[in-house]
Amino acid sequence: MPVQIIVGEYALCREAFQSGTSLSSAANADFAGGAAKHLDFTSMPYPFMLSYAHKDATIGGEPPQPDPHFDAFVKRLSLRVGQLTGSAGFVDHADILPGADWPDDLAEAVRTASTMVCLYSPSYFQSEYCGKEMQAFLDRRQNYIRANAGKKPANIIPVLWQPVTRRVPKTLPDIQYKNAKLNPDTQGVWNLGDQGQERDLNDIADQIALRVRDAADLTPLPVLPGASRIKAFRSAFLPPPLPLPEFDSPDATGGPDAVTFVYASSTHWNAWPWAPPEEQAVLYLAAAVAKGAEMASTQLTFDLADANLIDRLTALRRSNNVVIFLVDAASLGLEGLRARMQDFDRPEHSCFSMIVLDNRRNLPVSLDDVFPYFAKRTPPHFHMVQPRENPIETRERFSKTIADALEQLRLVVINNPYAPNVIGNRTGFQSLPAVDGPGRPS
């Protein structure tokens, strides 16, 4: 379906903004006398689509009423984007029923829009549909990165709409919009509107409009082939399906943009500390962080009696994957596991990393006895994560340990590949990627 550019929509947004009419009403207004003429421009996508939780567009009441701060921000953003690019953005106002597909116009915007402006809020990250919109754009972003030697575009533009302390999923890459007036713990753009700071709200909308223009001009994202269907996307707010595929499975990704988590199969992945619930499991958290680092995740699981582990570790080393061995300290008392540890604890695995999770502060054995090689190493090759008084802080520390290890080990593999030709064949890597765009709230 070609993108429909509506002549007069820009003027309507401006008129609605100046008059105070709600954007929902303005967007659905009937242009008298055929003032809105529809033209097809298959080569002219929307400069942006707005991704937001519909709860953030309304306030309480029955029926719910338009939120004036949401309307003011979107009208200003649409006004400035129209002035800067000559085209209006796409804002969808229809609620999607559970199990329903994207409407055609929304599906086309997801597939072709030059940028996505997303309003970060607790409601946004709870929305499965917002997560699917985000994943569609992340897929398009990955297509751009692969086609441009690792260069990362800034076409996903988050806006801190509500405070989101500890609520930004770790599955998201390091992208955010920073502004001195905003604080991820205490204040978003909505708060500026609520405090009557209209000038500050407009300034932020104007800055976002400039980023929309620049991203659309400088880093145009490839469109998704064919019609976009909502069921084709897994929410960007979730880690990959668990358990992960084995690293040597036919469809597994290899190279420095892939990480393999090694762990003993004697304990099921969702029974590790700190699970249940599943969302607190070690592998769940590790895979989420890896997804946020834009790395594919696989696993190597082994049985305590697996005499083949050395051969599989050798094959894993040749794949040039980042490798992290996850060790539950409580299981170190098992003699069979200690025997398998000796297969891993070797100098030829110097590019690997080991993270020991001590959930009891009382190790059953000496780490120096079990890991005479790795226990003497420093990060990123050896870490011990010990419990904090606050379980959330423990999981946050583990997640940061994984993130730091992924970043550093990837460079280790790139600079000292076991098989240099594998990196070239699998990733097309030519030089360290340039990073365009800001980072996620810490």
- 3-state per-residue secondary structure call for 142-190: HHHHHHCCCCECCCEEEEECCCCCCCCCCCCCCCCCCCCCCECCCECHH
Confirm if 409 and 380 have CB atoms less than 8 A apart: yes
Pair (226, 294) in one structural domain: no
Pair (162, 267) in one structural domain: no
pLDDT at 18 over 60: no
**Any domain includes 24:** yes
Average pLDDT, stretch 24-30? 37
Long-range contacts of 163-167 (CB under 8 A, 24+ apart): 163/187, 163/188, 163/191, 164/120, 164/121, 164/122, 164/125, 164/188, 164/441, 166/392, 166/396, 167/122, 167/125
Chain segment 196-250, per-residue pLDDT in tens: 999 999 999 999 999 999 999 999 999 998 776 777 899 999 999 999 999 999 9
Pair (224, 305) in one structural domain: no
Q: How confident is the model at residue 72 (pLDDT cuts 50, 70, 90)?
A: very high
CATH of the domain at 134: 3.40.50.10140
pLDDT at 429 over 60: no
**Any domain includes 245:** no
> What is the pairing mode between strands 382-385 and 353-357?
parallel
**Any domain includes 331:** yes
**Any domain includes 437:** no
Alpha carbon distance 219, 151 (integer Å): 10
Q: Name the DSSP class of 333.
A: T
What pLDDT score does 203 carry?
A: 97
What pLDDT score does 424 carry?
A: 41
pLDDT at 14 over 60: no
- Domain span at residue 321 reads 258-425
Chain segment 127-146, per-residue pLDDT in tens: 999 999 999 999 999 999 99
Nearest to 431 by CA among 243, 19, 23, 151: 151
Nearest to 370 by CA among 313, 316, 327: 327
Pair (192, 277) in one structural domain: no
Pair (223, 270) in one structural domain: no
**Any domain includes 207:** yes
Pair (46, 123) in one structural domain: yes
What pLDDT score does 144 carry?
A: 96
Alpha carbon distance 221, 116 (integer Å): 11
**Any domain includes 386:** yes
**Any domain includes 434:** no
CATH of the domain at 356: 3.40.50.360
Most confident of 23-32, 305-314, 405-414: 405-414
pLDDT at 415 over 60: yes
Return the higher-pLDDT residue of 61 and 281.
281
What pLDDT score does 335 carry?
A: 82
Chain segment 98-125, per-residue pLDDT in tens: 555 677 888 889 999 999 999 999 999 9
Pair (228, 269) in one structural domain: no
> What is the pairing mode between strands 156-160 and 258-264?
unpaired
Pair (155, 262) in one structural domain: no
Pair (215, 299) in one structural domain: no
Domain total in the chain? 2
Pair (268, 407) in one structural domain: yes
Pair (31, 175) in one structural domain: yes
Alpha carbon distance 364, 254 (integer Å): 35
As a whole-number percent, the residues of the chain with pLDDT over 70 amount to 81
pLDDT at 73 over 70: yes
Average pLDDT, stretch 401-405? 97
Q: What residue has token string 């309480």?
A: 60
Pair (149, 266) in one structural domain: no
Taking all residues of the chain, what is their mean pLDDT, rounded to a whole number? Answer: 83
**Any domain includes 240:** no
* pTM of the model as a whole: 0.82
SS3 280: helix
Average pLDDT, stretch 74-89? 95
Return the higher-pLDDT residue of 439 and 285.
285
Chain segment 158-171, per-residue pLDDT in tens: 999 999 988 899 99
What pLDDT score does 361 carry?
A: 65
